[in-house]
A and B are shown apart, each in its own frame.
Chain A
Amino acid sequence: MKKALTAAFNWTILAGSTAIVCLFLGIILFDIFSKGLPSVSWDFITKFPTDGMTQGGILPAVIGTLWLTLITTLFSVPFGVACAVYLNEYAPPNALTGIIRASIRNLAGIPSIIYGLFGLALFVQGMGLGTSVLAAGLTLGLLSLPYIITTTEEALKQIPNSMREAALALGATQFETIRDVVITRALPGILTGVILTLSRAAGETAPILFTGVAFYINRPTSSLNQEFMALPYHLYMLSTQHQSIMEVRPLAYGTAVVLIGLVFILNLIAFYIRYRHRVR
Chain B
Amino acid sequence: MKESKLSAHDLNMWFGKKQVLKGIDIDFAERQVTSLVGPSGCGKSTLLRAFNRMHDLSSDARVEGTLKLDERDLYDRASSVTETRKRIGMVFQKPNPLPKSIYDNLAYALKLHKFPKEEIPVMIQSALEESFIWDEVKDELDKPAVKLSGGQQQRLCIARTVVLRPEVILMDEPCSALDPISTGKIEELIVKLKENYTIVIVTHNMQQAQRISDKVAFMYLGEVIEYGTTDAIFNNPKNELTQNYISGYFG
Contacts and interface: CB of A to CB of B under 8 A. Distances in A.
The answer to whether A and B come from one shared complex is: yes
B98 A166 contact: yes
Contact of A165 (B54, B81, B112): B54
B85 A168 contact: yes
Interface string B57-84: 1010000000000000000000001110
Interface in B81-96: 81-83, 85-86, 89-90, 92, 94, 96
Contact of B54 (A163, A168, A173, A280): A168
B54 A166 contact: no
Nearest to A180: B108
B96 A166 contact: yes
B55 to A, nearest CB: 11
B107 to A, nearest CB: 11
A172 B57 CA distance: 13
B97 A176 contact: no
Contact of B85 (A162, A163, A171, A184): A171
Contacts of A171: 82-83, 85-86, 109, 112-113, 164
A156 B123 CA distance: 33
Nearest to B83: A171
B242 interface: no
B180 interface: no
Contact of A162 (B59, B83, B94): B94
Nearest to A163: B96
Interface residues of A, number: 21
Contacts of B81: 173
B92 A165 contact: yes
B155 interface: no
A162 B59 CA distance: 18
B188 to A, nearest CB: 23
Contacts of B99: 163, 181, 184-185
A17 B242 CA distance: 63
Contacts of B94: 162
B144 interface: yes
Given A162-B92, A170-B89, 5 more contacts: A163-B99, A166-B96, A169-B161, A170-B112, A172-B112
23 contacts: A93-B59, A160-B96, A162-B92, A162-B94, A165-B54, A165-B92, A166-B97, A167-B98, A167-B108, A169-B89, A169-B92, A170-B109, A170-B112, A170-B160, A170-B161, A170-B164, A171-B85, A171-B86, A171-B109, A171-B164, A173-B81, A180-B108, A184-B99
Interface of B: 52, 54, 57, 59, 81-83, 85-86, 89-90, 92, 94, 96-99, 108-109, 112-113, 144, 157, 160-161, 164
